[in-house]
Amino acid sequence: MNQGRLIQYKYVFLGLIVFLCVPYYTEAATLFIQNSKSTISENDTVTTSIFVNSENVSINNTEGVVSFPSDLLSVQSVSTAGSVLPLWVENPSFSNTDGIINFNGGVPNPGYNGSSGKILTIVFKAKRAGSATISFNSGTVRANDGMGTDVTSTKSPATITIQDYTGTTNSAPTTLTEDIPLPPVITSAQIPTSDTWYSQTSATFKWNLPKNVDTVQVLLGKFPNSIPTISYSPAIAQKTIDDLPDGVWYIHARFKNGAGWSNTSHYKIKIDNTAPKNLTLNSEIKNNDLISLNVTATDSTSGVVKYVVFVDDEKIMDYPTTGNESSESILLPALQPGKRKITVRAFDAANNSIEENTTVNAPEIKTPKIIEFPESITSGERISIKGVTPYPKSEVVIWVQEADKEPVRYQVSADERGIFAFTTNYIKSEGLISIWSQALVTNSNTKQVAIWTQAMTNNGVLSIPSEKAFVMVKPTPFTKLSANALHILSLLIPIVAVLLGLVLLAYYIILRIRKIRRQIVDDLNETDLELHAILSELRKDIEVHLRLLEKTKSKRQLTNEENTIIDHFNEYSEKAEEYLTKRIKHIEKNDL
């Protein structure tokens, strides 16, 4: 029995020790509301503040929901200026439709301990006459004990009496309340966006500065919703921050004028001035004769986002990646055979980089072969070929080039044995088919078609071209007949042309002779007429002389000489005319 009592005392003693060692709080903290005025008129404004009395207990958080009659009051602004809570889970918010205000803020170690710690400042505007009660729908104050113990005891409301606006002229003139400024709009030329990483050690942040702002508070911090605490009065329109550390930071800024503090603007910046680390580089040759690089790098801030690969100091590819620690296998394109210098640079999101070099012995990509093809075809037919590549299920590029034309590229797939087949389009014109511009023409009627292949790797690099396969493209029989006919015509046309020229020349000469003959005949006829006219005149003259002789004969006897003259004149005139007429007719008949 004594042993049982001893055990009971032991448990009581242990419980007492636990009770004395664990902090114990009575519900002592108080939330209360105070108004700057108890009575106002319609359209007037009143400043209301929410306070906390920790009752000698260190607290680190308070949150709550404040309600107000939305038919009597409307919130103009909510400010955390002068609040004992520098940290906010989220910025205070309000709804004039629902008539509520939400807040949730905290205090870092050692917490807050005081009787009148301001939490929020609210500016209300009276909408109509009545009694408006501002109260807590909910409210919690938590102790700074590591467990967030609720130490809330009471939540005290406040009441405002709103009177009708009388418009009395005897009252003192009303002073218009200055509006609380809008929050700053923060910009930076060095860090223009919030979602991009920058390797920036110094940056200037600017904001619009209203004329009535007398103080600006600015803070660079790690938390997204902090309230700035460093004041600048007179107000400044920009702030340059040097020695920006790596990481994600926030620029916080707010304005103050005669009406109070604006809401705080928050501008996120992402800084990384440190290059990636631990870059390792290894290489291996794959079964398809391509080189694979095994690359690893780390970056604890913005992460490795890409690798850039150089071959013999010439950039060949970008390889994007993600993650702070990036291990990638990068398949390189086919390289020229032999030793090659490989350089890999690792870049983080802020474009900081580190590089590493290695040397590889690049193998040759094997060339495919054409194993079946026709020796000749007729123009207008198609060419079917068959080949084999060393790389099963790979792509093969086939080039077909007709004479004096650019090569045409085709692409086919090889099967699991590496066999590929291909049929060209219809070869309608005679020409040389080749992988590069090289023509082979045997004669004017028969030409060649050259065909060859290249192996193509999975990253689009071609191997050395294969040997060419030549196909004779023969003309059709009709083409041959046409060619012979053209050859005969080419010989006949000059002869016919010469004969035709001679005929035309003879015809021209004949026409010319006829024309000349007509002219001579016309001249002879004209001469004949003229001679007859002359002889006629001569005859008349002779007849005159003969008549004179006849008259003389009547007077005297003519002498023998005179009679002889008369006889000869008559005879010669007749004979001369007859002779001339016959001679002209003879010329017309025989000479022309």
pLDDT tens for each residue of 67-82: 999 999 999 999 988 8
What is the DSSP secondary-structure string of 3-56? HHHHHHHHHHHHHHHHHHHS----S-EEEEEEES-SEEETT-EEEEEEEEE-TT
Q: Which two tokens stand for residue 458?
A: 């999975």
Domain end, chosen from 322, 343, 362, is at 362
- Say if residue 354 is in the same domain as residue 381: no
What phi and psi values does residue 543 have, to the nearest 5 degrees?
Answer: -60, -35
Q: Is 226 exposed, middle or buried (0-12, 13-18, 19+ CB in 10 A)?
A: middle
Confidence of residue 295 (pLDDT cuts 50, 70, 90): very high
* Range scoring the smallest mean pLDDT among 191-195, 219-223, 245-249, 483-487: 483-487
- 3-class DSSP assignment, residue 371: strand
Kindly report the number of other CB atoms within 10 A of residue 104's CB atom. 18
Counted residue by residue, the chain has a size of 592
- Is residue 176 in some structural domain? no
C-alpha 551/C-alpha 264 separation (Å) is 169
Q: Which two tokens stand for residue 255?
A: 């304005």
* Range scoring the smallest mean pLDDT among 67-76, 185-194, 203-212, 384-393: 384-393
- 3-class DSSP assignment, residue 585: helix
Q: What pLDDT shows up at residue 481?
A: 54
Contacts of 209 (CB under 8 A, 6+ apart): 184, 216, 235, 236, 237, 255
pLDDT tens-place string over residues 125-171 = 999 999 999 999 999 999 988 888 999 988 989 999 999 875 543 33
**Structural domains counted in the chain:** 5
What is the DSSP secondary-structure string of 480-542? HHHHHHHHHHHHHHHHHHHHHHHHHHHHHHHHHHHHHHHHHHHHHHHHHHHHHHHHHHHHHHH
> What share of the chain in percent tops pLDDT 70?
81
pLDDT tens-place string over residues 91-121 = 899 999 999 999 999 888 888 988 889 999 9
Q: What pLDDT shows up at residue 530?
A: 75
* Range scoring the smallest mean pLDDT among 6-10, 163-167, 433-437, 533-537: 433-437
- Is residue 16 in some structural domain? no
The average pLDDT across 527-547 equals: 75
C-alpha 131/C-alpha 218 separation (Å) is 40
C-alpha 263/C-alpha 80 separation (Å) is 8
Whether 452 has a pLDDT exceeding 80, the answer reads no
What is the DSSP secondary-structure string of 55-78? TT--EEEEEEEEE--TTTEEEEEE
Confidence of residue 49 (pLDDT cuts 50, 70, 90): very high
Q: What pLDDT shows up at residue 426?
A: 83
Which range has highest mean pLDDT (26-30, 437-441, 497-501)? 497-501
Which range has highest mean pLDDT (224-228, 368-372, 525-529)? 224-228
- Is residue 375 in some structural domain? yes
Q: What pLDDT shows up at residue 220?
A: 92
Confidence of residue 22 (pLDDT cuts 50, 70, 90): very low
| Contact criterion met (CB below 8 Å) for 87 and 226 | yes
- Say if residue 25 is in the same domain as residue 152: yes
Domain with residue 48: its CATH number is 2.60.40.680
Q: What pLDDT shows up at residue 454?
A: 60
Could you tell me which residue, 425 or 356, shows the higher pLDDT?
356
Q: Where do the H-state alpha helices sit in 331-445?
A: none
Q: What pLDDT shows up at residue 172?
A: 39
Q: What is the CA radius of gyration of the chain?
A: 62
Q: What pLDDT shows up at residue 442?
A: 27
Which range has highest mean pLDDT (307-316, 374-383, 485-494)? 307-316
- Say if residue 258 is in the same domain as residue 390: no
- Say if residue 570 is in the same domain as residue 585: yes
Which range has highest mean pLDDT (490-494, 520-524, 558-562)? 490-494
Q: Which run of H or of E encompasses 241?
A: strand 238-241
Whether 414 has a pLDDT exceeding 90, the answer reads no
C-alpha 187/C-alpha 197 separation (Å) is 16
Quick one: angle between helices 477-555 and 560-586, nearest 10?
170
Domain with residue 224: its CATH number is 2.60.40.10
Confidence of residue 483 (pLDDT cuts 50, 70, 90): low
- Say if residue 156 is in the same domain as residue 30: yes
C-alpha 307/C-alpha 316 separation (Å) is 11
| Contact criterion met (CB below 8 Å) for 172 and 197 | no
Q: What pLDDT shows up at residue 571?
A: 67
- Is residue 252 in some structural domain? yes
pLDDT tens-place string over residues 454-482 = 655 544 556 777 778 787 777 776 655 55
- Say if residue 46 is in the same domain as residue 152: yes
Angle, alpha carbons 215-64-39 (nearest 5°): 70
The average pLDDT across 421-432 equals: 76
**Integer CA distances (angstroms), 494 to 483, 484, 499, 508, in order:** 18, 17, 9, 21
Domain end, chosen from 362, 379, 407, is at 362
Summary mean pLDDT of the chain: 80
Cis before 86 (ω within 30):
no
- Is residue 50 in some structural domain? yes
- Say if residue 33 is in the same domain as residue 83: yes
Confidence of residue 309 (pLDDT cuts 50, 70, 90): very high
Q: What pLDDT shows up at residue 188?
A: 94
- Say if residue 148 is in the same domain as residue 58: yes
Domain range holding 380?
A: 369-475
Whether 378 has a pLDDT exceeding 50, the answer reads yes
Domain end, chosen from 362, 386, 416, is at 362
Confidence of residue 7 (pLDDT cuts 50, 70, 90): very low
- Say if residue 435 is in the same domain as residue 537: no
Whether 419 has a pLDDT exceeding 60, the answer reads yes
C-alpha 94/C-alpha 363 separation (Å) is 71
Q: What pLDDT shows up at residue 448?
A: 47
| 73-79 and 117-126 beta bridge pairing | antiparallel
The average pLDDT across 499-510 equals: 88
What phi and psi values does residue 33 have, to the nearest 5 degrees?
Answer: -120, 140
- Say if residue 418 is in the same domain as residue 342: no
- Is residue 291 in some structural domain? yes
- Say if residue 295 is in the same domain as residue 390: no
Q: What pLDDT shows up at residue 588?
A: 64
- Say if residue 39 is in the same domain as residue 153: yes
Q: Which two tokens stand for residue 236?
A: 């400044």
- Is residue 482 in some structural domain? no
What is the DSSP secondary-structure string of 434-461? -SSS---B-SSS-EEEEEEEEEE-TTS-
State the Cα torsion 80-82-85-87 to the nearest 10°: 60
- Is residue 115 in some structural domain? yes
Q: What pLDDT shows up at residue 511?
A: 87
